[in-house]
Amino acid sequence: MEKRRIRDVQVPVRMKYTRNACIRCKVAKVRCDGDGFQSCSRCVKTGLQCRYTDKPTSEDVIVLKNILNDLGHLDLSGQGIRTQPIPFSTLTGVYDLHIAWSERHRLKVAVKRARDDKSFEILKQTGKEIRVWSELQDENVLVLLGYYNEGDSPVPSLVSQWMEKGRLDSYIKRLPRGGEETCVLLSDVASGVAYLHSRDIIHGDLRASNILVSGECVAKISNFALSRKESPIALPHFEGSPRSSHRWMAPELVSSFTAMTTKATDMWAFGMIGHELLSWCIPYSTLGDITALSAIADGKPPDRPEKPEISENAMIFNMLWTICNFCWKDPHLRMAATDISSLLQPHSVNRSKLIASASSPESIEMDEITSTREPSGNTRHPVKELLEPLSYLDLEGSILPMKQRESKIGGYSDVYSAWSKRHNIKVAVKQVRNILRKDVSFIKKFVNEIRIWAKLEHENVLPLKGFYFEGEELMPNLVSEWMEDGTLDEYIVDIPPCSVEILELLRGITAGLAYLHSNKIIHGDLKGPNILISSRKTPLLADFGLSRALQKTLTIMATTSTSSNAACRGSLRWMAPELLIVVDGESPSLNEMTDVWALGMVAYELLSGNVPYANVKNDFAVIPVIQKKITPSKPTEMGDLVIFEKIWSFCCSCWNFDCASRPSSEQATQLWSS
């Protein structure tokens, strides 16, 4: 069978390459990134789905070991770090947070641990973070106390002092809004940023949730996963590299592939932190993720927050809001961190008032995290009661973990393989992230989606095998059959282009979507990675329930997790243009016609073997392209030309900017069934 290859990714000519093939995919030339780690334009991906594994090689591990050897004085291995997961910890897409006790330091510490320690990108990112972080010593920067390795994991866990007052975005709500206390904390942040910039370090992910507050009420900058040393030679941002959290991202990062994080983009984000402290909301809080990105791409700052409740705070409030606006000017006109720090210093001398104003924080004591919580015999599980009509799908005690577990980290959930004793088959277990597992309103929406999913029966919709609860968790894990052929974007690499097989896949996808629409269900996130391939080689639509339940939870996620960022950017290329338009200050809703637009993009994937707008390397840069009413360009003709033209014509009909003129999913089904 003729292998169908994904088109080579275009990379900037200024990047240096060695003559060797990439050590992972064996095809593309290796990019020399200046950090010792090797990667290529094929394996470091944006929306392109690389079919090669993202596993670190022995050479990659050696590079990280060399970095750690240079920091031997920080090695805490075997020195009594006792950890327990925080009961209500929030997770980023790739890290867990633990609370622990350090025997060496004789204090409570926080441990940042990679969830997937077999990932090349995580290994590389951790190496860069520990190298930058270990150099920092400032009152307003969280200090790295050390690191340690567990077992045979090549990725070390990072240890820092536990900050008793927690995250700034939560702590600020205990204080009078917009007053002297806010000024003190923002002055701390400005001082920390000024320190970083004085050492030519770009933080890259400044936001209130990455600022921690000590027991002495001092704000400290944390999370240096995206930080970098500023280079005198401005190299372009390479596709697939981590990006900042989107609501805090400067317009130049959203709209340009070549733009890198700079001191100026840090200052834009600093202005957003100021907005958070003045409003007690995330930036663009009335907008969904996508429409917020659209506003940023247009250079529109957030709306001015309401005046503070205490009239005496009005003068400080106005001063801080003015500073925010100076941070949102063109890059060369933005205020520097040193200037802001100098401006705020005279207004932030009274830290004792800040300490007195704050109520006692909710603290986690070591005995609380080491004790075993016993369930009450009189309390019924509230979510189990809601799922009682589906008790026949309860798989409690039937799911066994596998020794060699396969896993995938998604935007809002993780999927791992297991074995179902009841069905006697390998299954996929979907586990929603901790941050959502504690959100009662989301859980109720999600449970409702489970009830809907359980009733669906169609050859092109992934069937629900069941669910089960772990311990006292409120959120159930969802179980479906494990699909060995993976997702549509992975599967079509081995399918002849514009063949009968491609037509059959498109027929099945449209039939599955029409079935959902006939049951008044909007998918909301239709794309190649959300379509699975069964053992009979038929496409199965997946992830529609989670997409619906998440629609109104996106802005909440943006405050607490970078998962929101990953999920948002991962779907931009399939997004209908009307979803980028703000109507009366609110984001538009998903509907059948937005699904049809995405269906056209899936058809384009089948036609070209590429993601939509593959020539636009940065996912966020797709937004201004869509706003200009530019659709993906026609691919090079291949395979059966009659099939090629038919699919291309269908794509164009789905991309009609007049929603009413798009075909319905039922009409699409009739087209491909004929």
Write down the domain spans for the chain: 15-53, 60-162, 163-232+243-357, 383-482, 487-673
Number of DSSP helices (H) and strands (E) in the chain, helices first: 23, 21
The verdict on pTM exceeding 0.85 is no
* Pair of tokens at residue 306: 């309401």
- For the segment(s) 383-482, the CATH number from 3.30.200.20, 3.40.30.10, 3.40.50.300, 1.10.3720.10 is 3.30.200.20
Predicted confidence (pLDDT) per residue in 551-570, tens digit: 544 443 444 444 444 445 55
Q: Are 228 and 199 in contact (CB under 8 A)?
A: no
Q: What is the pLDDT of residues 8-34, one digit of tens each?
A: 333 333 333 333 444 444 444 444 444
Please state the rounded mean pLDDT for residues 302-309: 88
Q: Which residue has the higher pLDDT, 339 or 378?
A: 339
Q: Which CATH class is domain 60-162?
A: alpha beta
HEC profile for 625-657?
A: HHHCCCCCCCCCCCCCHHHHHHHHHHHHHHCCC
Sort residue 584 into left (φ over 0), alpha (ψ -120 to 50) or beta.
left
Report CA dihedral (316, 322, 327, 329) to the nearest 10 degrees.
180
Q: What average pLDDT does range 102-118 have in this prediction?
A: 84
> Could you tell me the sign of the dihedral formed by the alpha carbons of 72, 74, 80, 86, in that order?
negative
Q: Please, what is the Cα angle at 291 between 276 and 551, to 5 degrees? A: 90
* Percent of the chain predicted with pLDDT > 70: 74
What's the Cα-to-Cα distance from 436 to each of 497, 552, 560, rounded to whole Å? 40, 12, 10
In our burial notation (b when 16+ CB lie closer than 10 A, e otherwise), range 438-477 reads bbeebbebbbebbebbbebebebbbebbbbbbeeebbbbb
* Residue 576's pLDDT band (cuts 50, 70, 90): very high
Domain 487-673 in CATH 3.30.1330.200? The answer is no
How much is the CA Rg of the chain, to the nearest whole Å? 25
Q: Is the pLDDT assigned to residue 1 strictly greater than 50?
A: no
Q: What architecture is the 163-232+243-357 domain classified under in CATH?
A: Orthogonal Bundle (1.10)
CA nearest to 621, candidates 329, 234, 251, 291: 251
Give per-residue pLDDT as tens, 387-434. Answer: 888 888 988 888 887 755 666 655 567 788 899 999 999 999 988 766
Position 580 scores a pLDDT of 81
Assigned token pair, 239: 């596709």
Nearest of 434, 426, 566 to residue 484 by alpha carbon: 426
Q: Using 50, 70 and 90 to split pLDDT, how confident is the model at 373? A: very low
- Cβ neighbours for 400, distance < 8 A, ≥ 6 positions apart: 418, 419, 420, 421
The whole-chain average pLDDT of the chain stands at: 79
Alpha helices in 134-179, H assignment, sequence order: 168-171
What are the Cα distances from residue 41, in Å, to 7, 10, 61, 451, 490? 11, 8, 20, 43, 17
Same fold, 60-162 and 487-673: no
pLDDT at 548 over 80: no
SS3 60: helix
CA distance 490 to 495: 10
Percent helix / strand / coil, the chain, rounded to 5:
40, 15, 45
Please, what is the Cα angle at 291 between 288 and 293, to 5 degrees?
A: 105
- Kindly list the strands in the beta sheet with 219-221, ordered across the sheet, starting from the edge strand earlier in the chain: 166-167, 211-213, 219-221
The CA angle 558-563-564, to the nearest 5 degrees, is 40
Torsional sign, CA 213, 217, 218, 219? positive
